[in-house]
Structure 1
């Protein structure tokens, strides 16, 4: 069970998160805050495992709050905001996820599961004295175009191996690479991705999404055609009509 703090300066946003989280057994809401100062105070006093944090708030924004959190007791952070352009900054402060309002339940469930997995890995690393595995290693591959994607950061770049990517979604001028423990944001087109990714690992399922077939746990249909894929992490990925036949063949399903 993740002891969870909700931080947003909009009461309706907090109410919506509380309502959605009531159906997620692994998250227990233990407190709320409406600005950055209250958030820091509540984190200090409640010691939550997970914090849902708005970005734009009075008395210290969410990014600043997250950047001040250090040490073994640092909670997992999930940013929830209406603004897409803060995503790169959010992942710079090691956020577990970045959700855009209005929050979809499947993405919320996925974010909580990712936070739970990251917390477990950090505890395992601390207990065993092993390096933290919540981020992908900075691995040098022979051919990044075939084996993975370089993600630029302020301090350099991170190599994300293709084999660690569960699914990919387009976000306007960016794409989001979703792995088991975190997401990465990259400025590139879906066409460029399709040209560089191994189709045996990640399949184009929509004009704005790729998915790893081995991580699909359920298919949803509209009539006889596949309309969406439910992933192992809870994400629901739409399947475009022009991609449905190819997806069915890749999953070895009859139409």
Structure 2
């Protein structure tokens, strides 16, 4: 029995696919999500064997969500879409499984059999269609969902409660890992727990023992460890 998560912004489509999957007797739907941001959170929490992912969703699309997932997560993805010639062509060229809406039960059976027989795909295999960089970072804060443009982030950091991003005006918590933020945004590592936007640096204070402290444009102090100070100085043009 495979565990599955269904992500679709249309309630009817989500409920219908969930029912069809449960009727196969081979897949247990462990969760649903109505948008990509909620879906990202549930993928990280539930770690399902397979995600049935709607492509066309508001704010953050299914393809954008794919680029936000931690590559260490072992899950397969079945794309779900109303007929889209270009999307379907991309899926077929890269041997990705997909379902067209409305979902046909015979076609779903083929997908389920493939899932049961196939080896676990790694997220690296989806790089052919996932975006190489992120223009926006979905966050939660003050009982609301916030979409933060990447260019507005001054720094990001992790602590026991999660990963947080800070702009000049607000702080919010993200479901993305520091690793993903480092790989897919312009943010640069300056400490094991901190990433910094080079353009947000107002000054760097050199401290004792090879340590340093960044002061951002909005006057936030950010630690810099010895390991990253040289690289940081080189990026700023100091050799």
TM-score between the two structures when normalised by the length of structure 1 = 0.44
TM-score between the two structures when normalised by the length of structure 2 = 0.47
Which has more radius of gyration? 2
